[in-house]
Structure 1
Amino acid sequence: MLLSIAAEASEAWLDVERAYIRQSPNATSPVIGLLERGDRVQVAEESGAPEGWTLLHPFGAVRSRYLAAVPPEGTGAPFDYLYGRVIARSAEVRSSASSEARVVGHHARGHVLAFKPPTAGPGEWLERPDGTFLARADVKFLVGSALEGVSEPPPELAWVLRRVRVHAPDDPKGATAVLERYTALEVFSVGSKVQTSRGTVPRDAIRLSHAHPRPAGIGPQERWVHVDTLEQVLTAYEGDHLVFATLVSTGKRGWETPTGLFRVWLKLRHGEMRGRRAAYLVEEVPHSLFFGEDTALHGANWHDRFGTAVSHGCINLSPADAAWLFRWAPPELPEGWHGILPGSAGLQALWVSIEHGDAHQAAAARATARSARNALPAECSGLTENGAGTAG
C-alpha cells in the first residue's frame, strides 16, 4: 500500500549518484521509483517518518542522508544538453579543456554523447555533464528530427516517406503538387496507388496507419498503443478511441522488435543505453517506457529515418513524439522523480501491442479468399490463394 503525504510539501535535492524510492520507509519495502543526482523532489515538512527516512509527496520514501537542501554543484536539466556522435576512432576524454590535461577515458567511434551547451560560442573543447572534456574535432553534432505526430487522426492516415510529386484530385488541368517527407494525408482508398486528400500517391512512397481494435485484456478506459513493425507506425488509444498516430523506427534485420502484448514496467525520464550484442552507447536517452525484458519506446535524437527499421530492437520516436507519449502514458511521473515502476507502486501502466503487419486485416483477407473459393464452380476448385492453378 502506498504511503501518501497530505502535509505541505517543500523541496530537496538528491546528493548521491542515484537512489531508490521505496513504497514505505523501510529498507525491505518494494522499490517504486528512482532518483538521480540533482533531481529535485517534493518532501513533507512535518512527515513524522522514522529516523533516517524522508517521506515524499505524493507518495514513497527515501533515506534522508541522500538529500540536500540546495542543488548539488554541476547538475543541470538533462534536456538542455547538446548531443554529438564520436567520429574519431578513439576520442580521448580529458580532465580539463586542454590537450595537456590528464586523459581519464576514451569513447569509441559511433558513441552518442551528451554535452553542456557552450557558454562563449564554439570552441576547441566540449564539456561533458560530469565536467570532463572532449575535443570538438572528435565530435559531430546531431540535430533531432522535426517529425511530429497527428492528434485525433482520421481512421486511416498516410505518411509520405520521400519527396513526391502528385496530381491534384479532380483537377481538370492536371495540376501537380510536391509533397514533402513526413506529410500526413487522409486516405480514401488503397491499392497499387493510394488515393489521399492531396492526390494519388505511389504505395511505396508512403506508410499507412489505421485504427485497430482493442486487444482482449485491455479495459475500455485504459490507455494503450499499437505498433506495426511492417508499416513502422504507432497509434495510441484511450479505450477504443484513436487519439494519436505517428511514424516510428523499430528493430532492423537481426534485431527485430518482439511482437505480442506487453505492459510498461519502468517509466524513465532519461538514461544511458548500451548494447549487449553490439558495441554501441547512447547517453541521456530521453523519455523511455520499458516493456518486455529490456525493450523500450524512447526518443531518438541521433537519426531522422522514421518510417524505416533502423534500431537495435527498441521503438524509436522523434523527440517531440517521445515527449508527448511520455506525458500521456500512465502513470504520471511525480514531480522531480527520475523514474517510476508502476507495478511495484500498484498503479496502472501503458499497454503496448506490437504486430508485424495487420493481423486482423490479414485474417479478413484470408476469410474472403476462402469464401470466394467456396463459391467457385467445381472445375475451378484447383485455384490457390495466390491465383496459381494446380496441374490436372
Structure 2
Amino acid sequence: MCRIASFAGEKPEATGRLERRDHRACAMLPSLALVTFLAGLRWLEPPVPFEPTDVRYVRARYAETFVHRDLEGRRPRAATVARGTILVARGFVPPSEGHVRCRGRGAYAIWPFGLVCADHVRPTETPPPATTSSIDPLPYRYALVRADDTPAFEGEDAVRSGTPFRHLEKGMTLAVVGLREIDGVRYVEDVHGHLVAREAVAYLGGGSAFRGVFVGHLSPPKIAEWALLRRKHVVLRAAPDGTSKIVTKTRDRAAVRIVAEDPSGRMRIRLPDGTEGWVDRGKVARLSLPAALPEQVAERMAALGGPDRLRWIYVDLGRQIAVAYVGERPMFATVVSSGAANPTPRGLYPVWGSVATIDMDNQSYEDDAYMVQQVPWSVFFQGHNALHGAYWHDGFGRRRSHGCVNLPPSVALWIHRFVGPALPTGWTGYFPLPDRAPVVYVEDTSRPPRARFVQDRPTGPPDPEEERRKAEEAAARRSAG
C-alpha cells in the first residue's frame, strides 16, 4: 500500500516488429502533450465564467495550491500546483455569498483550466518559464538507508545538539537535493530539508532501463506471439532440456518473438537481434490479451460516448504485465511488479488522481514500517494503490510491492502522460471527475476462470471512516499485545 504523505519515434515498420521507445522520446515534449490535452480539455474540464482582469500572471503561495472546478463546493478540486508556480490569469471571479471556497475573496480563472483563490496567489509581472524539451523519468537522485535506527535531523542545530526528529530503518529511501558539511561531517539533505549522515546512505542507480514496447501496429492475435522477458539476464539454450549448450545470455529485458513451445514447459524465443534459443516458460511473460473487450470496460466506453473517449490500463497479475489501451486498441505493454504480501486488488477502478512525485510510507495501522520518498509518476486507481515508478528495484516481472503496481521509471512517465492530462510546469497533481476518468482493469489469469476478475475493493480514494476503523483496531491490538 502507498500512503499519501505529500505531493510535492518513428512509425514502426509493417514488419511485425515491436518497437522500443527511445529514452528521450519517452520523456514527451510538453508542448506536444499540451496540444493533445487541450484537444480534449473542453470535454474533460468544462469552462467556468469569469470577468476580465488587468492581472496577467499570478504566483502560487503554498506547497499545495489547489485548483478548483467551482467556488460553490459542488465538485471536488481539479488539481494542485507547487509553491512558486507562475500561472496565466485568464480573468477574475468576484466574491459571492454562494462561494464556500476562497473565503469570499474571489478567484482567478487560470490557463489551461480551473480557479485559484485570490489569497492563495500573488500577482506578478513575471511570465511562466519556457517549457523544456524533455522530462527526466527520475526527477531526483535517490539514496538508500543502510541500517536500522539511522538518525534524521531537521537542521544544523538539531545535528549539533544530537536530537534527531526520527530514526530511519534499513531500506528506506531519500530524495537527495544536496550535500551539507557540518563540523567536518558530511550530510545528505533530502527534499524536505532533513539531514542524514552521508556514510549512512548509499546512492541508488538510475532504476530499470526497460522502456516498454509499442504494440499499436499489431493485431491482438499477433501480439499474442510476443512476450516480455521477466529478467534482465536470461539464458537461452540450444535445446529444450535445460542442460544443452548455452546459445546466449541476455543483458536486459526485451520484447521477444515466441517461435515454438514444448510440452516440457519451455519456449523457443527469438531476440531482437535474431538469436533464437529455448528458455523456461517462467522467464517470459506472454502478451496474451483478453479475447473480448471486458464487459465492464465496454459499459464504461458506451457511457463516455465512444471508444476513443476511453483510455484504460489492463493489468494481469498472473503474467505481471500491463497494457495501455485507447478504446479497443492495445497501444503499449510492459512488465510490472504487483502486490505480494498485500495483493493488488482485482476489479475495475476509475483513476481518482495522478501526481508527479509523492512520498509513500506505511499506514499508521500497519506494523511493518517503510518509506520511499518522491515516488515518481503515480496514477492512483483504488484507495492507496497506484501504478507508479519504482526506482529502488529492478525486479519487474514478479510480485514484490506493498499492493501498488510498480513500473520501470520511463514506463511510469509514459503511463502518467498517457492517462493524462499533460499539465504545464509546476502542476503537481490532477484529480479527474469519476465519470470521465480513465480506468484500470485488474485481473489475475493465474486463477481459475471464475476467480480471475472480481471487484475486490470499492472504487475511489481512501475512505476516511474505513481508515479510522483500521487505526482503532491497530491501536487495540497493540495495547493488548
TM-score normalised by the shorter chain: which range applies?
Answer: 0.7 to 0.9
Bigger Rg, which one: 1
- Following TM superposition, by how much is the alpha carbon of 1:112 offset from its aligned partner in structure 2, in angstroms? 1.5
Mapping for residues 80-159 of structure 1, pairs under 5 Å: 80-94=139-153, 95-96=155-156, 99-100=159-160, 103-109=163-169, 110-118=171-179, 124-143=186-205, 144-152=207-215, 155-156=223-224, 157-159=226-228
SS at match of 1:182: coil
Tell me, what secondary structure is at the counterpart of 1:30?
A: coil
CA contact (8 A) 1:82 1:117 kept: no
2:393 partner SS:
coil
- Does 2:187 align with 1:187? no
Contact 2:311 2:324 in 1 (8 A): yes
**One-letter amino acid of the structure 2 residue matched with residue 2 of structure 1:** P
How much does 1:90 deviate? 2.1
CA contact (8 A) 1:112 1:282 kept: yes
SS of match in other structure, 1:124: strand
* Counterpart Cα distance in 2 of 1:175 and 1:273: 42
Change (3 A) 1:155 1:141: same
Letter in 2 for 1:244: F
C-alpha change, 1:186 and 1:17, in structure 2 (3 Å) is same
Aligned to 2:417, the other structure's residue is in SS state: helix
Tell me the secondary structure at the aligned position of residue 415 of structure 2. helix
Residues 132-183 of structure 1: CA deviation (Å, up to 9, x unaligned): 32110111222211121001265132222242133399xxxx9923323412
The residue number in structure 2 matching 1:211 is 289
Q: Which residue of 1 aligns with 2:87?
A: 42
**What residue in structure 2 maps to residue 224 of structure 1?**
312
Describe the superposition over 1:43-92 as per-residue Cα deviations: whole angstroms up to 9, x where unpaired. 32543544442222122112122224479xxxxx9954211122232222
Farther off after superposition, 318-327 or 197-206: 197-206
- What's the counterpart of residue 13 of structure 1? 59
The one of 407, 424, 431 aligned to 1:317: 407
**Which structure dedicates a bigger proportion of its chain to helix?**
2
CA distance in 2, matches of 1:97, 1:88: 24
What is the deviation of 1:233?
0.9
Asked if 1 retains the 8 angstrom alpha-carbon contact of 2:378 and 2:416, the reply is yes
SS at match of 2:427: coil
The offset of 1:10, in angstroms, is 4.9
Code of the aligned partner of 1:289: V
Q: Which has the higher strand share?
A: 1
Instruction: Determine the C-alpha separation between the residues in 1 that align with 2:58 and 2:261.
Output: 56
From 113, 123, 131, give the equivalent of 1:59. 113
Q: 1:357 to 1:118 in 2, by over 3 A?
A: same
The alignment partner of 1:100 has SS state of helix
Identify unmatched segments of 5+ residues in structure 2: 1-44, 96-104, 128-134, 271-275, 302-306, 451-481
Query: How big is each residue's C-alpha offset from its partner over 1:304-360, in whole Å with a ceiling of 9 and x where there is no partner?
Result: 10011110000000100000000111444455322121116x6x3222111111679
Write the distance in 2 (CA, Å) between the matches of 1:62 and 1:104. Answer: 37
> 2:369 aligned to 272, 275, 279, which one?
279
Query: Secondary structure at the residue paired with 1:137?
Result: helix
Q: Is the 8 A contact 1:97 1:133 kept in 2?
A: no
The 2-side partners of 1:196 and 1:53 are apart by 60
> Secondary structure, in 3 states, of the residue corresponding to 1:357?
coil
Residue 211 of structure 2 aligns to a residue in which SS? coil
Aligned identity (percent) is 28
Give the direction of change, closer, same or farther, for the CA distance of 1:295–1:216 in structure 2 (3 Å limit): same
Displacement after TM superposition at 1:11 (Å): 4.3
Distance in structure 2 (CA, Å) of the matches to 1:163 and 1:187: 15
Question: What are structure 1's unaligned runs of at least 5 residues?
Answer: 72-76, 364-392
CA distance in 1, matches of 2:369, 2:141: 22
- CA displacement, residues 226-285 of structure 1 (integer Å, 9 cap, x when unaligned): 111111111111122221111100001x31111111111111111111212231111111
Deviation for aligned residue 1:293: 2.2
SS of residue paired to 2:395: coil
> Partners in 1 of 2:377 and 2:84 — Cα distance?
15
Paired amino acid for 1:130? H
The match for 2:68 is 22
Partner of 2:47: 3
Partner Cα separation in structure 2 for residue 255 and residue 200 of structure 1:
34
Q: Which segment drifts farther, 292-301 or 14-23?
A: 14-23
Structure 1 residue ranges (4+ consecutive) displaced by more than 6 angstroms after TM superposition: 5-9
* Whole-angstrom distance in 1 between the partners of 2:255 and 2:267: 13
Conservation of the 8 A alpha-carbon contact between 1:21 and 1:31: no
Q: Contact 1:5–1:57 at 8 Å: present in 2 too?
A: no
Shift of 1:25: 3.5
Q: Do the aligned partners of residues 185 and 31 (structure 1) sit closer, same or farther apart at CA in structure 2, a change above 3 Å counting?
A: same
Counterparts in 2 of 1:301 and 1:97: CA distance versus 1, 3 Å: farther
Match of 2:357 in 1: 270
Distance in 1, Cα, partners of 2:63 & 2:246:
61
In structure 2, the CA distance between the partners of 1:21 and 1:46, relative to structure 1 (3 Å rule), is closer
Distance 1:358 1:333 in 2: 38
Q: Find the aligned partners of 1:101 and 1:11 in 2 and give their Cα distance.
A: 44
Say whether residues 1:176 and 2:247 are aligned partners: yes
CA contact (8 A) 2:266 2:278 kept: yes
